Amino acid sequence: MSQPRSLATHNSVDLSPAILAEWESHPAFPDLVRRAAAVSVELYRGHWMLNRLLNDRGRLIASLMILDLHFSAGSGQGFTAAQMRRHAIECGLCSPGRITAFLATLRLSGLLAHADGQNPGNRRLAPTEALLDVHRARWRRVFALLAELRPEARGASEALQDPAFVGHCAGVVMEAYRRGQRLYDFVPALTAIADRDAGLMVVLSLLTADPGQSVSVSDLARRFSVARSHVLETLRAAERSGLAVAASERGGYRAGPDLAPAMGRFFSVIFEVYLHAFVTARVRGWDVGG
């Protein structure tokens, strides 16, 4: 690994092949990817009602859009449903009706509230601490892993206690998204399972299994609260992409030859984006750790 480089000179995240290869060439990177996969599986949050509105990828982008609108566009003062619908259309995320229903479900779940906390007549909405904590839980673990390879990431996990830094991280991701950078464009092999409910979690579970060990379809269905037939269809799609291999014993599956390289590229993109978020926050003078 080369000496730490400043990412703050870029207006957006540099996700060039050379930058990503720098992560992937580190001897400790494969173990880091496996541990990051285990964190993702552990923290996966499924919700039957939200699943009917947006898939896993859509829910993630929509929740990041909420944080970005609140902290960046709204300067911490909230956002309107109309703003959210407009941004969703501009980004090609989903229809206005789905966003309206999504926001209503988040409010019922205690993840969104009126911006002033009291007045129902106020049209501005704001993320609650519960929604911030959903992202903090994941990002703390990601930043802790980053710090093992990159000294400049030290202190990032602690910095997430500041809501503004959570918003900044979301803003960095959304800036890349608005510029047309899509995570799955960097890993075409994952597109076959990306839009399936718990699809990514299913293949990550294969990666976290012991080498050569198969994972049962029924176990995966129970773990992620989806139908066994859905898991089986997902694994068959993964098999066609080289991500999974059918095992003879009891109809299980194990990691395919292309799974580790695909997830290596997947997590190198994620790691670079969040390292960029932390470094740029520090350069801008925020008190986000040292």
Encoded tokens for 247: 């095992």
Examine the pLDDT at 233 and tell me if it is beyond 80. yes
Residue that wins the pLDDT comparison between 38 and 123:
38
Place of tokens 């066994």: 228
User: Using CA of residue 277, residue 283, residue 285, residue 288, what is the dihedral sign?
Assistant: positive
Examine the pLDDT at 5 and tell me if it is beyond 50. no
pTM over 0.85: yes
In CATH terms, is domain 188-260 a member of 3.40.50.1820? Answer: no
Closest CA to 224 of 242, 246, 211, 206: 206
Examine the pLDDT at 60 and tell me if it is beyond 70. yes
- Residue spans of the domains in the chain: they are 188-260
